[in-house]
Amino acid sequence: MSAHEEQRLSAWLDGELDEGARAAVEAHLARCAECRETLAALRAVDPAARELGVRAPEGYFDGFAARVRERIEAEAAVRRPASWRPPTWTWAVAAALLLAVVTPLTLHRGETVLPARTAPPAPTRPLATPALPAAVPATASPTRPQSAGEAPSPRSTAGRLEAPAPRQRLMKTAPAAAAPAAAPTASIRQHSEQAAANDGRLSALEGAAVAPQRDASRQEGRAAVSIEAADAMTAQEVRLAPATAAEAGGGVRAADVESAFRQLDHLRPVDVASWRRLRERWRAFAAAHPAAPQADEARVRVIASGLELVRLGAGAEDAATFRRDAESYLAREDAPQKPRIRSMLEEAASPR
């Protein structure tokens, strides 16, 4: 049998063989009646299968789209508390505001400030570090018009751990934000809110089908990574964040914590093992940042991951962990999402 081409006939039918293999199969077919028979039989399979219809219960599709919509709305309602956290773009806006204030001042003193992107930073000028959003709002510098393309991109800072030191320095030298940058701020907010609202939480699968290069600045190549790789990245983030926070000031810490939060938020486990890993990462996050604004949501995510494991029928141990986590949340004073947890407990108790 090994002399025959059976194995490759199916791929030949699909036009999925490379040139050499195709030629070999065709040469074999030309002199082998047995394989021609097999080919004919294989070729009939797909069209025959397409004759099998799909039958759904009467009226099933009438309300389908509305049910999907309800689920989306329910999910948005549940997620809303988390989305009120000050998001990462706050830092881009703060930096832009700061530059708007500082740049005119320095220009006024007769100095020249070059944007970080077009000139090497002067060592004496800590503000022009590459870690900063490399832009100055147009209103800040009439002598050096900026194109719209140079507006600070909140996406470029979102979800990434950046060197905290320059930003911290920035915060110290800029006491207050000023009016000139109001317009750019508004546009940044609009942009960022859309980004936050659509916050991609792609599984490797979904990522495989999209075009990550469409917005290369965002989560560089993230859409294409496997969930395992994403998990690894997240583990690193969780480990890094507390250390960074310890050596930096409060403001920087908030950005890094947010970054770590978003990394976890992006993960979409596909099986029991990865749900368990995610649950424990949320637990580690909540333990590492007990006072962060995200901590409450992280505690809820521990429980939500637990519920997912219950749904997947992971086992008695996971079910017990889920109940324990839920009960300890309900026992907390600082737990604004108790109704959400109660409904999770109800869901876990009700048979599906």
Partner 1 sequence: MGPADRAPRDPARPPAPDEGFLLARARQGDLSAFEQVVGRYQRRVYGTALRIVRCHDVADDVAQEAFLRAWRSLDRFDTTRPFGPWVCRIAANLALNHVRSPRTREEALPEEQAEPRSEAPGPLEALLDDEGRRVLDAALGELPVEQRAVFVLRAFEELSYAEIAAALGLQPGTVMSRLFRARERLARALGPYLGLHARRPRGGVA
**Region 315-344 residues binding partner 1, contact defined as CB under 8 A:** 315
Per CB under 8 A, 191 contacts partner 1? no
Binding span for partner 1 by CB under 8 A among 3-11, 116-124, 160-168, 242-250? 3-11
Measured from the CB atom, the residue of 67 and 109 that comes closer to partner 1 is 67
- Tokens (6 digits) for 81: 């508390």
Per CB under 8 A, 271 contacts partner 1? yes
Measured from the CB atom, the residue of 271 and 327 that comes closer to partner 1 is 271
Element (H, E) at 72: helix 64-83
Minimal distance in Å, beta carbon 141 to partner 1? 33
Per CB under 8 A, 72 contacts partner 1? yes
Minimal distance in Å, beta carbon 84 to partner 1? 17
Query: Where in 21-40 is the site for partner 1 (CB under 8 A)?
Result: 22, 26, 29-30, 36-40
Q: What is the DSSP string of 115-144?
A: -TTTSPPPTT-GGG-TTS-----GGG-TTS
CA distance 129 to 149: 19
Minimal distance in Å, beta carbon 159 to partner 1? 13
Sole binder of partner 1 in the list 1, 3, 52, 148 (CB under 8 A): 52
Per CB under 8 A, 198 contacts partner 1? yes
In our burial notation (b when 16+ CB lie closer than 10 A, e otherwise), range 19-32 reads: eeeeeebeebbeeb
How far from chain centre, in Å, is Cα 174? 31
Query: Where in 286-305 is the site for partner 1 (CB under 8 A)?
Result: none
Closest CA to 135 of 86, 181, 90, 193: 181
Determine if residue 58 is left, alpha or beta; phi over 0 gives left, psi from -120 to 50 gives alpha, anything else beta. Answer: beta
Q: Which residue has the tokens 């009646």?
A: 33
Query: Where in 79-98 is the site for partner 1 (CB under 8 A)?
Result: none
**φ/ψ of residue 143, rounded to 5:** -80, -15
Minimal distance in Å, beta carbon 296 to partner 1? 22
Sole binder of partner 1 in the list 1, 3, 54, 176 (CB under 8 A): 54
